[in-house]
Chain A
Amino acid sequence: MTAARLSVHDLAKTYDTGTRQVHAIDKLNFTVEAGELLCVVGPSGCGKTTLLRSIAGLLRPTSGRLEVDGQPVDGTPPGTAVVFQEYGRSLFPWMRVADNIALVLRDNGIRSAERRERVREALDQVGLADTARAYPWQLSGGMQQRVAIARALAYRPRLLLMDEPFAAVDAQTRADLEDLVYRLWRDLGVTIVFITHDIDEAVYLGQRVLVLSAEPARVREEIAIDLPAERDQLATRADPRFIELRTQIQQHIRDSGR
């Protein structure tokens, strides 16, 4: 399946809280090329999650439109998978790991033999081949997030949305998961929109980083990450260019927070 090209045009979302109107995002314009890994960073509470939920079709934007491969979409773009921040809450505790993954294939015309095969393959890809029969709550947080990633992979998405997926795991697990996502992206060539509040993570993973301004979120800056394609937790993070880029982004975020 080919990767999707996503373009966002004048997207805006306003919440009416009763006492005042909150402009979470306003006139947001950007494009994600097919097969690109785009990271989105911004000051906390700047509407990153609102943006992701709008792209996923879980929130109806107040105005603006989304296009996938040039076609306008309403609702969830076909072939979109999401990895939520709250891994523990997006997996179903009443189902074993394999059933959690198979669930998203059930209504998409995939027969049970192929479902089993895809589940096995996806678990293999995230290094959890032996947990198929376990329940999610028997696994550690990092493993649960791997299951959520495996579920997204088994779906064979054209567009993968990740909402601060590693915000709740410890540093070492986080580094492992970052490398996992990067490797999977290079192997599979899927389009990924990766939302994070961690600038280092954005620079480490992204081909391009979108810096959003504070409420309302607008695109403040787009920064191409011109680091070597081979990323390594130690070497890449020690690269002078890496430090330059992260400083540059941090500067933008600090300025936009004012």
Chain B
Amino acid sequence: MTLRTVLWRLVTWFGLPVVLVAAWWFGSEGSRSFYWPPLTEILRTFTQLWTPERWAADVLPSLGRLAAGYAAAALLGVGIGVAIGLWWRLRAIAEPVLEFFRAIPPPVLVPVIMLFAGIGDGMKIAVIVSGCVWPILLNTVAGVRAIDPIQRDTCAVFATRPLTRLRRLVLPAAAPHIVTGMRQALSIGIILMVISEMFAAHSGLGFAIVQFQRGFEIPEMWSGIILLGLIGVALSGAFALAERRVLAWYHGMRRAEGSR
């Protein structure tokens, strides 16, 4: 990598964030508005507020519920999606129902889910699952349906067992689609993590932000929102790293096709 490309990378990654932070910094400097405190004050609050104890009390429970809900949604979405993708009869039966459920905004389901899942962690995880499962499921179906018939024929002729086919053909072939669905689900999951904590919660980031807002602790509220944004950036960064590993073959193939 030349110095030029390194510099260009740095500019593309950090350029806009630096500009936005600077605009906020100078724009809010000396602000006397109660609702728009200066960024310097928000940042000072941030460092004082988000102590390890606070992380353990609010941030980790949120992330734990997100992880549980997201993992369950991935298992359900991929499992059901593979089944629907492989058997057209199942697809014919399931498709109208899927469209119906997909069209319902998950936050609407929070009161409903509370009725049978209570107000504990189970409810919040169920809300995250109910939103995250759809993009994963629908993309998995699309991915499985897009498997090359010649690849299926290859497995059929060489007498591979169903389990081998699932592991060596169906899942890897659908992986680019599945990953796309999981990326969409991740941002939905973060939103639902916060929303589920705004109802009947006693811990979590969403709960903390609502508490600050109700107590007119405005710098604290802003610092919570910033933390939420930073967590989103960190999670999507981690996702991109994982994707690069899992789909290394796919990106390599795309590059090879592009250069031909």
Chain A residues whose CB sits within 8 angstroms of the CB of B156 once the complex forms = 57-58, 76
Q: Are A95 and B154 touching (Cβ within 8 A)?
A: no
Partner of B158, one of A86, A94, A104, A138: A104
**Is A103's beta carbon under 8 Å from chain B?**
yes
Q: Are B168 and A95 touching (Cβ within 8 A)?
A: yes
Q: Are A103 and B168 touching (Cβ within 8 A)?
A: yes
A82 to B151, CA, bound (A): 12
Q: Are B172 and A94 touching (Cβ within 8 A)?
A: yes
Q: Are A89 and B150 touching (Cβ within 8 A)?
A: yes
B contact residues vs A (CB 8 Å cutoff): 148, 150-151, 153-154, 156-161, 164, 168-169, 172-173, 175, 249-250, 252-253, 256-257
Residue of B nearest to A89 (CB): B150
Q: Are B250 and A94 touching (Cβ within 8 A)?
A: yes
Contact string, A95-108, partner B, CB cutoff 8 A, digits 1/0?
Answer: 10000000110111
| Residues of chain A from 104 to 126 with CB closer than 8 A to chain B in the complex | 104, 106-108
Closest 3 A/B residue pairs (Cβ)? A104-B158, A94-B172, A89-B150
Residue of A nearest to B246 (CB): A94
A107 to B156, CA, bound (A): 12
Q: Are A137 and B252 touching (Cβ within 8 A)?
A: yes
Q: Are A155 and B153 touching (Cβ within 8 A)?
A: no
A80 to B169, CA, bound (A): 20
Q: Could you name 20 residue pairs across A and B whose Cβ atoms are closer than 8 Å?
A: A57-B157, A58-B156, A58-B157, A81-B158, A82-B153, A82-B154, A84-B153, A86-B150, A89-B148, A90-B153, A92-B168, A92-B172, A92-B173, A103-B158, A104-B158, A107-B160, A107-B164, A135-B252, A135-B253, A155-B158
| Residues of chain A from 169 to 222 with CB closer than 8 A to chain B in the complex | none
Q: Are B159 and A135 touching (Cβ within 8 A)?
A: no
**Is A93's beta carbon under 8 Å from chain B?**
yes
**Is A56's beta carbon under 8 Å from chain B?**
yes
Chain B residues whose CB sits within 8 angstroms of the CB of A81 once the complex forms = 157-158
Chain A residues whose CB sits within 8 angstroms of the CB of B153 once the complex forms = 53, 56, 58, 82, 84, 90
Q: Are B172 and A76 touching (Cβ within 8 A)?
A: no
Q: Are B150 and A90 touching (Cβ within 8 A)?
A: yes
Residue of A nearest to B156 (CB): A58
Chain B residues whose CB sits within 8 angstroms of the CB of A137 once the complex forms = 252-253, 256-257
Q: Are B157 and A76 touching (Cβ within 8 A)?
A: yes
| Residues of chain A from 65 to 95 with CB closer than 8 A to chain B in the complex | 76, 80-82, 84, 86, 89-90, 92-95
Q: Are A135 and B158 touching (Cβ within 8 A)?
A: no
Partner of B161, one of A53, A56, A107: A107
Chain B residues whose CB sits within 8 angstroms of the CB of A107 once the complex forms = 159-161, 164
A104 to B161, CA, bound (A): 10
Chain A residues whose CB sits within 8 angstroms of the CB of B168 once the complex forms = 92, 95, 103
Chain B proximity of A23: nearest CB distance (Å): 23
Partner of B151, one of A56, A80, A89, A155: A89
Chain B residues whose CB sits within 8 angstroms of the CB of A94 once the complex forms = 172-173, 175, 249-250
Chain A proximity of B37: nearest CB distance (Å): 52
Q: Are B159 and A108 touching (Cβ within 8 A)?
A: yes
A84 to B250, CA, bound (A): 22
Chain B residues whose CB sits within 8 angstroms of the CB of A106 once the complex forms = 160, 164
Chain A residues whose CB sits within 8 angstroms of the CB of B253 once the complex forms = 93, 135, 137
Chain B residues whose CB sits within 8 angstroms of the CB of A76 once the complex forms = 156-157, 159
Chain A residues whose CB sits within 8 angstroms of the CB of B148 once the complex forms = 89
Chain B proximity of A102: nearest CB distance (Å): 10
Chain A proximity of B30: nearest CB distance (Å): 57
Chain A proximity of B182: nearest CB distance (Å): 17
Chain B residues whose CB sits within 8 angstroms of the CB of A57 once the complex forms = 156-157
A18 to B168, CA, bound (A): 36
Chain B residues whose CB sits within 8 angstroms of the CB of A138 once the complex forms = 252, 256
A92 to B253, CA, bound (A): 11
A92 to B170, CA, bound (A): 11
* Apart from A58-B156, A76-B156, A106-B160: 20 A-B pairs, beta carbons within 8 A: A76-B157, A82-B157, A89-B151, A92-B151, A92-B169, A92-B172, A92-B173, A93-B250, A94-B172, A94-B173, A95-B168, A104-B154, A104-B158, A107-B159, A107-B161, A135-B249, A135-B253, A137-B256, A137-B257, A138-B256
A135 to B156, CA, bound (A): 22
A192 to B148, CA, bound (A): 25
Q: Which of B148, B154, B253, B256 has the most CB of A within 10 A?
A: B154
Chain A residues whose CB sits within 8 angstroms of the CB of B169 once the complex forms = 92
Chain A proximity of B162: nearest CB distance (Å): 10
Chain A residues whose CB sits within 8 angstroms of the CB of B175 once the complex forms = 94
